[in-house]
A and B are shown apart, each in its own frame.
Chain A
Amino acid sequence: MRAFRSLSPWVFSALLLAACGGGDPSVPGTGSPSGAPTTKGSFTAVVSFGDSLSDIGAYAPATSLAGNGSAPYFGGKFTTNETSTGAPDANPLGKVRVENVAASLGIVVTPAEVGFDGVSVKCPAAAVPALAGTCTAYGQGGSRVTDPNGIGHNPVNGKGALTVPVVTQIANHLARFTSFKDTDLIFVWGGSNDLLTQFGIFLAAAAQIQADAAAGKLTADQANQALFAAQTTAQAAMKVAAQELVTDIRTQILAKGGKYVAVMTLGDAAGTPSAQPLPVALKPVLTSLSQIFNLWLRDGLAGQSVQIIDTFTLFSDISANPAKYGFLNITTPACDIAKISAVTGGAVTTGSSLFCNATPGAPYNGLTAGADVTTWFFADDVHPTTGGHKAWSDIFTAQLKSFGWI
Chain B
Amino acid sequence: MKTISSLALAAALALSAFGAQAQDNVVKVGVTRYTTHSKTNGVSGIGVPPGADAETGDATTVIFVYERLFTPQVGLEFVLGIPPTIKAKATGSVAFLGDNVLSAKNLAPTLFLNYHFFAPGDTLRPYIGAGINYTKFTNVKSSLASDVKLGDSTGLALQAGINYAITKDLGLFASVAKLDVKSKLVASGASVLTTTIDFRPIVYSAGLSYQF
Q: A26-B186, A225-B96 are in contact. Are A231 and B192 (CB under 8 A)?
A: no
Choice from A26, A29, A228 contacting B96 with Cβ under 8 Å:
A228
B119 touches A (CB below 8 Å)? no
Q: A236-B190, A288-B191 are in contact. Are A231 and B151 (CB under 8 A)?
A: no
Task: Report chain B residues within 8 Å CB of A233.
Answer: 190
Most chain A CB within a 10 A radius of its CB, from B47, B49, B192: B47
Task: Give complex CA distance A220, B96 in Å.
Answer: 9
Task: Report chain B residues within 8 Å CB of A185.
Answer: none
Task: Give complex CA distance A238, B189 in Å.
Answer: 12
Judge whether B192 and A235 touch: CB under 8 Å. Answer: no
Residue of B nearest to A293 (CB): B46
A152 touches B (CB below 8 Å)? no
Residue of B nearest to A291 (CB): B46
Most chain B CB within a 10 A radius of its CB, from A232, A238, A285: A232
Q: A224-B96, A225-B97, A228-B97 are in contact. Are A291 and B192 (CB under 8 A)?
A: no
Sorting the interface of chain B by its residue count into under 10, 10 to 19, 20 to 34 or 35 or more gives 10 to 19
B38 touches A (CB below 8 Å)? no
- CB proximity to B under 8 Å, residues A166-203: none
A89 touches B (CB below 8 Å)? no
Task: Give complex CA distance A225, B94 in Å.
Answer: 9
Judge whether B47 and A28 touch: CB under 8 Å. Answer: no
Secondary structure type dominating chain A contacts: helix
Task: Report chain B residues within 8 Å CB of A220.
Answer: 96
B188 touches A (CB below 8 Å)? yes
Q: A26-B149, A26-B151 are in contact. Are A292 and B190 (CB under 8 A)?
A: yes
Task: Report chain A residues within 8 Å CB of B94.
Answer: 228
Residue of B nearest to A290 (CB): B46
Name the distance in Å between A399's Cβ and chain B's nearest Cβ: 24
Name the distance in Å between B95's Cβ and chain A's nearest Cβ: 8
Q: How many A-B residue pairs have CB under 8 A?
A: 50
| Per-position binary interface string of chain A over residues 22-34, scored 1 when its CB falls under 8 Å from any chain B CB and 0 otherwise | 0000111100000
Choice from A224, A284, A295 contacting B192 with Cβ under 8 Å:
A295
Name the distance in Å between B42's Cβ and chain A's nearest Cβ: 16
Choice from B144, B184, B191 contacting A292 with Cβ under 8 Å:
B191
Task: Give complex CA distance A220, B93 in Å.
Answer: 13
Task: Give complex CA distance A314, B28 in Å.
Answer: 63
Judge whether A27 and B194 touch: CB under 8 Å. Answer: yes
- CB proximity to A under 8 Å, residues B193-209: 194
Judge whether B47 and A291 touch: CB under 8 Å. Answer: yes
Residue of B nearest to A234 (CB): B190
- CB proximity to A under 8 Å, residues B118-158: 144, 149, 151
Task: Report chain B residues within 8 Å CB of A221.
Answer: 96
Task: Report chain A residues within 8 Å CB of B192.
Answer: 27-29, 295
Judge whether A28 and B188 touch: CB under 8 Å. Answer: yes
Task: Report chain A residues within 8 Å CB of B144.
Answer: 232
Task: Give complex CA distance A235, B192 in Å.
Answer: 11
Judge whether B149 and A232 touch: CB under 8 Å. Answer: no
- Sample (8) of A-B pairs whose CB atoms are under 8 Å apart: A26-B151, A26-B184, A228-B96, A239-B190, A288-B47, A288-B191, A291-B47, A292-B46
Q: Which 10 A-B pairs have the closest CB atoms?
A: A235-B190, A288-B47, A236-B190, A224-B96, A291-B46, A221-B96, A288-B46, A28-B192, A28-B188, A239-B190
